[in-house]
């Protein structure tokens, strides 16, 4: 008999955390689930820990692949899911024991296809800290939730969203090769497949903040570029839908995208990636990002945009020299 909930968990070198993560799944008050763990070529003891737990729990399946990235690992897991509901959990994050039961109950009671809940952050030097929700609990239209995500960064994360596994969701996949932003792209595309979503304000997902994780690795323009390209694909997908999408939502998403493109270009100039900047500026969308900043942004950002747009080697050398030829933190940009 197929399980009620399918959980996909990609893991890579999380030996220290993955046992606790899987135990948080096993501690769920809802017990009718399958856990598909995809080991993405870990070089530490992650595989050993996962297989030891799977040997004691038939609900856990373990797959191994050569290191190909988290998107490919999740896609491999998606090929095998059987449940009526679908959820993801990374190998270092945690759920409160009522997450699965409350998510399923809310989806069943409301008839919605997209559930998300409150979030806590967990740091090594402190206990869990709550993240304030940016929207009120209850049922929200997909358009409203999309708008709020673009405008205020409503947290749609791999571990605080549950999807009804409809035929359209079953056909959805992560962008293979995308190293950053692939999760947001997937969830926004999933949200676009629904008319409404249900929010439970209760903080049932614990996101672990740790050095070396995908979102807290040392700055690298290549990863940031992947996230921007992922957002470009989302907006192109929404604007190309046959039934159209909310104009305000698309405009707000495009505004945020253009600003992110400008910021990345300037940071790349500071870090000395000049050939790559020139290649991006050969594309109209990236030039438009600089034009939009020059038209609407405060004076400091207008000046930075002009420096990037001018492509003056001397000006770029001065920017890189002033920055110490390395990326400064966002507080100093």
Beta strands in the chain (DSSP E): 5-11, 33-40, 60-65, 85-88, 94-95, 114-123, 129-131, 138-141, 161-164, 196-209
Report which of residues 322 and 66 the model is more confident about. Answer: 66
**Neighbour-count burial for 39-59, b at 16+ CB within 10 Å, e otherwise:** bbebeeebbebbeebbeeeee
How far apart CA 100 and CA 248 sit, in angstroms, is 33
Location of structure tokens 């919605």: 112
Q: Are residues 203 and 225 in the same domain?
A: no
Question: What is residue 211's predicted lDDT score, i.e. its pLDDT?
Answer: 67
Q: Are residues 162 and 228 in the same domain?
A: no
Does pLDDT of 256 surpass 60?
yes
- Determine the structural domain holding residue 292 and report its residue range: 221-332
Domains in the chain, number = 2
Question: What is residue 239's predicted lDDT score, i.e. its pLDDT?
Answer: 81
Question: pLDDT, tens digit, for every residue of 117-152?
Answer: 999 999 877 666 667 666 667 888 888 888 888 877
Q: Are residues 186 and 312 in the same domain?
A: no
Specify if 215 maps to a domain.
no
Mean pLDDT over the full length of the chain? 89
CATH code assigned at 130: 3.90.550.10
Q: Are residues 181 and 322 in the same domain?
A: no
The encoded tokens of residue 24 equal: 């948080």
Beta strands in 109-258 (DSSP E): 114-123, 129-131, 138-141, 161-164, 196-209
Stated pTM of the model: 0.88
Question: What is residue 282's predicted lDDT score, i.e. its pLDDT?
Answer: 96
| Number of other residues whose CB lies within 10 A of the CB of residue 279 | 11
- What three-state secondary structure class fits 197? strand
Question: What is residue 252's predicted lDDT score, i.e. its pLDDT?
Answer: 82
Question: pLDDT, tens digit, for every residue of 3-13?
Answer: 999 999 999 99
Specify if 36 maps to a domain.
yes
Q: Which of 209, 235, 251 is the last residue of a domain?
A: 209
- What three-state secondary structure class fits 33? strand
Q: Are residues 122 and 263 in the same domain?
A: no
């Amino acid at each position: 008999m197929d399980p009620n909930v399918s959980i996909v968990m990609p893991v890579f070198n999380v030996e220290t955390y993955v046992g606790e993560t899987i135990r948080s799944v096993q501690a769920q008050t809802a017990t009718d689930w399958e856990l598909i763990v995809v080991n993405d070529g870990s070089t530490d003891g992650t595989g050993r820990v996962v297989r030891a737990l799977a040997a004691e729990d038939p609900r856990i399946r373990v797959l191994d692949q050569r290191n190909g990235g988290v998107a490919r690992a999740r896609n491999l897991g998606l090929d095998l899911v059987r449940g009526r509901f679908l959820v993801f959990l990374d190998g270092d994050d945690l759920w409160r024991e009522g997450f699965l039961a409350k998510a399923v109950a809310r989806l069943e009671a409301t008839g919605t296809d997209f559930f998300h809940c409150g979030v806590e952050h967990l740091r090594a030097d402190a206990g869990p800290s709550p993240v304030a929700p940016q929207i009120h609990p209850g049922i929200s239209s997909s358009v409203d939730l999309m708008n709020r995500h673009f405008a205020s960064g409503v947290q749609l994360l791999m571990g605080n969203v549950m999807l009804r596994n409809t035929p359209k969701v079953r056909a959805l996949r992560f962008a293979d090769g995308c190293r950053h932003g692939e999760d947001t792209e997937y969830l926004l595309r999933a949200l676009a497949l629904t008319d409404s979503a249900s929010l439970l304000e209760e903080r049932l997902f614990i996101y672990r903040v740790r050095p070396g994780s995908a979102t807290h690795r040392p700055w690298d323009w290549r990863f940031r570029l992947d996230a921007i390209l992922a957002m470009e694909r989302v907006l192109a997908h929404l604007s190309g839908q046959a039934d159209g999408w909310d104009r305000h939502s698309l405009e707000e998403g495009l505004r945020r995208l253009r600003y992110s493109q400008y910021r990345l270009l300037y940071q790349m100039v500071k870090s000395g990636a000049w050939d790559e900047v020139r290649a991006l500026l050969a594309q109209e969308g990236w030039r438009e990002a600089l034009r939009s900043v020059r038209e609407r942004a405060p004076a400091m950002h207008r000046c930075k945009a002009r420096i990037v747009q001018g492509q003056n080697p001397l000006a770029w050398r001065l920017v890189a020299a002033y920055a110490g030829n390395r990326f400064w933190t966002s507080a100093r940009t």
